[in-house]
Amino acid sequence: MTVPFSGGCQCGAVRYEVSAEPLAVFLCHCRACQYESAGGPSVVVMVPEPAFKMTGTPKGHTVIADSGTPTTRCFCGECGTPLFGKPSGDFPFVMLRAGSMDDASWLKPHSTIWVSSAQPWAAISDDIPRFEGNPVM
C-alpha cells in the first residue's frame, strides 16, 4: 500500500486524497450499506478525518444506521457514485467506500460486520472475524 492514496466519483466531479493508512477495513452487511451496494456488503475503509482531503462537493443523505446513529452517506450529485459515510457526533473518522478508490486492490478486510442484517444468500467468509453488529472499538 502506498500513502497517500486517492479516489473519487466515476465522473470526476468529486475527488479525495488520504494521507494516512486505513485504521480498519470492514465488509458491512447493514441494511443501509445494502442499498449502496445493490444488496451485498459494502467494503468500508475507515480513515482518520484529518487525513482526508476532498475537492468538489458531494451530496449527502442522512439515515439512521442500524446502530441507531445518524449517518450522512455522501455521493456524487452528478453520477451517483457512493463515496463515504460520516457518522454524527464525536466520530473523527471518514468511512470511505472502497469502490470509490482509484486502486482498492491492496485492501484486506479486517472483519465482517452487521452479519445479523446480511441477506440469506450472502457469502460470509470464516477467514476473518465476524460481528452481529458494530465491533467494539
What domains can you pick out in the chain, each with its CATH number?
Answer: 5-117 (3.90.1590.10)
> CA neighbours within 13 Å on the CB side: how many for 130?
14
Confidence (pLDDT) at 97? 96
Residues 18-53: pLDDT tens digits? 999 999 999 999 888 888 888 889 999 999 999 999
- The bridge status of strand 24-28 relative to strand 111-113 is parallel
Query: Using CA atoms, how far apart are residues 137 and 132, in angstroms rounded to an integer?
Result: 14
